[in-house]
Amino acid sequence: MQILYVAANQTSREIYCKILNTGTHLLTLEEIRVNGSKVIAKDRLPLIIKPFYARDYRTCVFRYDGPWKGSILIDFHTLIGLRTDWEKLVDLQTASSNPIEGAYPDRFEFLSIYFYRNLVEIAHYMEAVLWGSSAAFLAVVTQQVLRSLKKKELRTKHMLIIMLLASSLVPYRLHTIKRPLVTFSEDGDIAGDGGGPYVDGVACMRIYVYDISVYPSNGFSLNGYDSPRFVYVRLGDVPWKDENLRGIPPRLPSKNLSMELYITFRNGTIPKIGVGERLEPTEILMFFLDPNSGMYSIEMLRDLTYYPPPPELINEGHAYLVGKGGDTWVLDVDAWFRNDENPPKYWVRLNFRMTINLKSLI
């Protein structure tokens, strides 16, 4: 984490700090201290700050009632797997002369936020612009060549043909670009938010269908941590068991959560699944986050290779991906997941259906 800017207002005795998570993982800001004493921030803590690629600039405002002279030591106490302190020695007189608006994102930072959160969408349309420019350049070059032809009728005929072919390049390329869409069944334990399909590159969603020819494994991933969209997870309405496989009341409530999902296959790849064929995932890993309350990430894991469920649970239910044709697949899950983010370990049974589509831009 980096403390980018500090300003102060002596009249209100408020300190303004602009911070940025420069790491690759979620960071939890647990508390703020000044000269070793805990202070109360305006925003409720703990506060989840997204990784650097999301450009999640945050402005922390807190009141300081100590002597307004000399320097103070500001300490941000965070959790990134391990608890870590990020300190900055601040001269109060210098901070008091700094404009308070500098503690908030400027135009360039807002632009970087938009760019990085919509990078996939921008890349798709920039490619279309590139193809359009190439087609226009080809048409101009062709026109110059055809002008050298002696017969006017022949020149016009060839020009029309070339321009038609060039103009068809852009829609053809847009049709060949396919991006993943995901839809959750509304009656499952993981349901959509009512906003329609989750689309890669739209509303900061990141969705990938990958295979061994490009990535080190075969599978699928969905990352919605940077997105305003969410899923409704019925954790308070499903069966739970403790480490001894005894039924217990749900340990977490049902609520709207941000989702991160990884599915791995070792015996096949998604694009090669035929109509009606089934492929069982060797691993389904899900993380859920409640950014509003600052709840730590909730992990749900079904791993058949390294951490398989006990025989009593692995034979209950099912988990498979079935091909539907037309670049469409359905993940059907009714299985036990391991939840041991914080010991003791629990088992949670989740039943949900998720449809994956590859759709052309046009």
Q: What is the CATH number of the domain that holds 56?
A: 2.60.40.10
From first to last of the 362 residues of the chain, give the pLDDT tens digit.
899 999 999 999 999 999 998 876 667 788 899 999 999 898 878 787 877 767 788 999 999 999 998 999 999 988 765 678 899 999 999 999 999 999 998 888 777 766 665 665 666 566 666 666 666 666 666 666 656 655 555 556 655 666 666 555 555 555 456 788 999 999 999 999 999 999 988 888 888 887 644 444 578 889 887 788 999 999 999 999 998 999 999 999 999 999 989 898 887 788 888 899 999 999 998 988 886 665 556 788 898 887 888 999 988 999 999 999 888 999 999 999 998 655 558 999 999 999 999 887 55
- Same domain, yes or no, for 315 and 259? yes
Using CA atoms, how far residue 200 sits from 123, 196, 197, 310, 316, in Å, is: 12, 13, 10, 36, 33
Using CA atoms, how far residue 31 sits from 7, 36, 76, in Å, is: 19, 11, 6
- Same domain, yes or no, for 158 and 188? no
pTM to 2 decimal places: 0.60
- Same domain, yes or no, for 239 and 255? yes
- Same domain, yes or no, for 209 and 351? yes
- Same domain, yes or no, for 107 and 128? no
- Same domain, yes or no, for 90 and 140? no
- Same domain, yes or no, for 26 and 111? yes
pLDDT for position 175: 47
Say how many residues make up the chain.
362
DSSP code of 47?
A: E
- Same domain, yes or no, for 193 and 142? no
Token code pair at residue 72 = 């103070």
Q: How many domains does the chain have?
A: 3
- Domain span including residue 150: 119-175
pLDDT for position 187: 92
pLDDT for position 75: 93
Domain's final residue, options 137, 156, 175: 175
- Same domain, yes or no, for 152 and 279? no
> What is the spatial distance between Cα 158 and Cα 180, in angstroms, rounded to a whole number?
40
- Same domain, yes or no, for 266 and 148? no
**Per-residue burial over 28-40, b = 16 or more CB atoms within 10 Å of its CB, e = otherwise:** bbeebbbeeeebe
Strand 247-248 versus strand 240-241 pairing type = antiparallel
